[in-house]
Structure 1
Amino acid sequence: MHPHLFRDDSDEFHANPPTHQQANLAPLALILADIIANRRLTPHFQPIVDLAAGKIIGYEALIRGPSDTPLHSPGLLFQTAMQVHRLVELEILCRDINIEFFSRLNLPGKLFLNISPKSLLEENFPKGFTRNALQRYGLEASRVVIELTENFPILDVTTIHHALQHYRDSGFQVALDDLGAAYAGLRLWTELKPDFVKFDKYFIQAINQDKHKKQLIQSLQDIAEHVGCQTIAEGIETIEEYYTVQSLGVCFGQGYYFSRPTPTPPLDIPQQICLHVACTSRDQGQDFKWRSETVANLIKTVPTIGSQTTLSEAGDLLEKVPELMAIPVVDEGFAGGMLHRHHAMNVLASRFGRDLHGRRPIREFIDRNCLRIETDIPIEQLSQIITNENYLHQGNHFIITEKNRYRGIGQVTDLLKRITELQIRNARYANPLTLLPGNVPIHESIERLVANATSFTACYVDLDHFKPFNDTYGYSRGDMVIRLVGRILQDCSHPQQDFVGHIGGDDFMVLFRSEDWQQRCRNILQRFADEVIEFYNEEHRQAQGIAGQDRQGQPVFYGICSLSIGATCFDGLQDCCSHHDIATLASEAKKQAKKIQGNSLFINRRRCWQLDTASTATDDGA
């Protein structure tokens, strides 16, 4: 984040502002002097979360000026300090206050301290100040990360490198902030070799909908892994953004999705987000799976009250609306809790209840621990949260929010009803023989992958010589072989990253996101070859097939059943408009695979844009 320095319209930084600005600066300079003299700054801390484990690993320290002054905004605060030549004093004070409150709050993990390159280059910046402050407040240097903000051109990289090396020698780690936001970020990354690099929030916003952003972050992540640098995604605000950056391998994240910067930050991320992380750790393919719908479909609009409403006024509302079992308490768009009918009426109905408590504000009676759920959470996940023992006693209602702002309430009974309906729908579209998802979920899964610009490989799987086997041994044993194929496909696919569907008959579709998909296909072929032989009698095993006649009555020999797999790869940037294009290419590959004798894998190199043209691509058989 950019906490400190800003440019004017000329795209230059001015240590000495133009003369005509002096009059406007004078009152701000006086306010700044008072702020520095009286330490009138409030530290805010935003958690940085391990995206795989769902644990807070540290906090970025930010600063705010007094709320009753124009310098409350950090932008104007630091701009003013720079213009009146007090930037070093302000940064010293910020650093001291941030360290003091981080220690006083006993926050876990690491403290990320923003430091501007300008302060590193200042000769009058006191040497050893940060180390002395840590000793004063009882913190180890190993718990502090010096976060270099890229907020103006760094011309003297060598001096910056030496200054940061001094911090490293003292036990600190180094982070490069806002990679890609400005100036020579990649050059700094190469020359400074930071321990952490932060991806600018611009590249994280709506990354789940932007294939180019996704490709860029994937490339930067690959570089980070190669050079041994840990990555942090800034500005995560939605569950989709979280799922996407987590799936790309980004180590850590911060943003409003986890918590806003606040003077008293959480020690743990909210329980429902913990469950999201846990589910994603088990299921990297959450966006990939055939999902149903989100909590947004459960929203009910009901009357709300503010926290200053009296208990008597709330009681009047409950009497006027007898079907209202709970009232959300909302102030300026944020839900503070919920007033339950049974609790309010019990208090008011008690002896002298209305006289004793009727004028008291409702905030004294509300349930502040009621469940709050974001609109974009899948309802299956909400069901898991609701059935958690911590929420079983909280009644039938929960608050629904969107980016933490109140949207409405939901009812557990509505949730259970909808889940039942969806289970019936899912069963309707599942193949009755293998119980695997059928054509509708296959198409939906492909469309979702294409919409999210996800790289994947579509594999069309078909049985060879199945009809003569079925004719010889009967449909019952034929069904057993089909179920065997379904079971092997599931066993050899990644349970979270890959999708297995049953098109019908002896045709299957596997959508691989696993990087080792080719090895998985080989495992499928080998295992099928080893197990299918058990369905033949001894005579056919010895002969390695079945002797029969073709439609013209001519003798023909059918080998042991084998699998043909036709694979087509998509890198997430292909111009594939729909599942029809992908199905066409996968079907083409399957036809080529069937031309190869025995268990075979054929990889189609054609792309969607080539469907209407003659193929000139090179195809591989394996």
Structure 2
Amino acid sequence: MLAVAVCEEKDLMPPLEDLHAELQDILANGRLRPMFQPILDLKEGTVHGFEGLIRGPSDSVLHSPLNLFRAARRLGMAFKLEAACCQTLVRAYAESGLGQRLFLNVSADSLHRSLVRNLIHPGPLRALGLEPSQVVIELTEGQPFTDYVALKDAVISLKSMGFAVAIDDLGEGFSSLRLWSEVGPNYVKIDKHFIGGVSADPVKHQFLRSLRDIARKTGAHVVAEGVELEADMVVVRDLELDFVQGYFTGRPHPVPVPMVSPEVLRVCREKRLGGEELTWISHTRVTASKLVQEIPSESPDTSIWQVNERFSRAPDLQSIPIVQEGLPVGLINRHVFMDTMARPFMRELYGKKGCEGLMERNILVVDQGTSLHELSRMVVESDPRHILHGFILTYQGRYVGMGSGHDLMREITQMQIHAARYANPLTGLPGNVPISERLDELIEQGQPFTVCYCDLDHFKPYNDVYGFRKGDEVIHWTGKLLERSVDLGLDFVGHVGGDDFILIFRSPDALRRCHATLEAFEAGRNRFFDPGDLAEGGYWTEDRKGSMAFHPLLSLSIGVVQVLPGVFPSHHEISSAASLAKKEAKRIDGNSLFLERRSKAVPSYFQRSS
């Protein structure tokens, strides 16, 4: 790769005349070398298909695909080279006799060229022993492309013949997102820039989650490209993306190899421990008003000429809201509008007519007081065009401005980054800082609420006997159990650290929920013990002094503090009271709850023995 980079930077490629002769010889004598890289199905742990790749002759400066295609573009032979690549890969794959899918790279421009179109056809494929259903046409953007109408027609034709379609390098720019919206691909391949290092980058993590949610809504499968590290593979697996491709799962090989290594299978089949969603994001008070762009609206009878002039004067304007008597009724998107106006005689015939006929009526209208968390859910669950075209923001039903999918993703990402900074890495739940912030927020609002300090009893001896891995499974399971005990629209779950958790309830039935949690813990904990230990009700291990001691099975203790307005000045006093209540609960054998009311009343005791 270093040699290629030097050639690119210093332009040390041979003269054009030599390159022309070399490339002509490669094409005339069939000297292109096919390579196949596996694409792994993460759910099944099997090879779903292979991406076809090309290398030049090993003794040529055009061995590197970077140099090969660069030379072809300079010589005006790019389409001829692409046709030869398709032919080479299809023949080699047909000879393998495999039934998996072949992902075939084709540039958007090449779909209109007869050299390539004649190869991507059921007849020639079946003559070689392949069915169209085995081939995925992977659209690449080697050159800028603007004729989306023609491309959409070509994709419709491909799908009608039985081919599937993929978009390559999703995320490189706005054009790839628009391509997704326009052609409705079967697969989207996320650019390797967003995959490499995702295990340590919360921005990339949020980007992948957002794309996954959009893909689920549109029915597309997601392929994560460029996975080279196990840590990144684990993130991709835990996000439940569909497919993965990269050096970690398999390098390109001259012959397609449908085998999966034991190491990769282990990662696919490992139980997921880490939490994915940062659920306390839903409690932030950041609203859609932060996204308002005060874009002047137009009325439905504004002429098409006037809309065209406005887009011409403002190159960065993506959409124009259409408002009638203060109420939003539609919008006009720049790209849809320009594509429509590019048709023959559109300007002459319709230029003076009102724009109502060209506006989109399927719009997303949102009150500016909607939380960003709720807005992101609405956008993901609605028409995917709203991410690209934008949505309309209102106050008391009347138009106040536009919001864009780009700005929404940016704000949500920033919130996720802030949340991830304080998240517990094992459960994904918020740690001490967001717990304190939530308590102070409720105190400031003057609302009554209930705080529960949850702690696992006898956890250290369990770790000593069963090991840290099993201990992590118990903590992760406990976190999920506590999450299920709350109403995430009202309540809050935090992970102080180790085996300590915090519940903050605004739900009026907090005690009922706590008792139900204790019952669920008792019913579910048996999975983490050997049958012999269950029968004995515990196990023997060394205590802190080195002596053998019998330790009971794990149990859960909950210390409860009911907080009334004006009783506690800050989260510090609440934390102290909850800690004392937890200690009292742990004095009780088995799964237990201790309730302390900060008043003149005597504390109450509640117990559920194991």
TM-score of the superposition, structure 2-length normalised?
0.49
TM-score by length of 1: 0.48
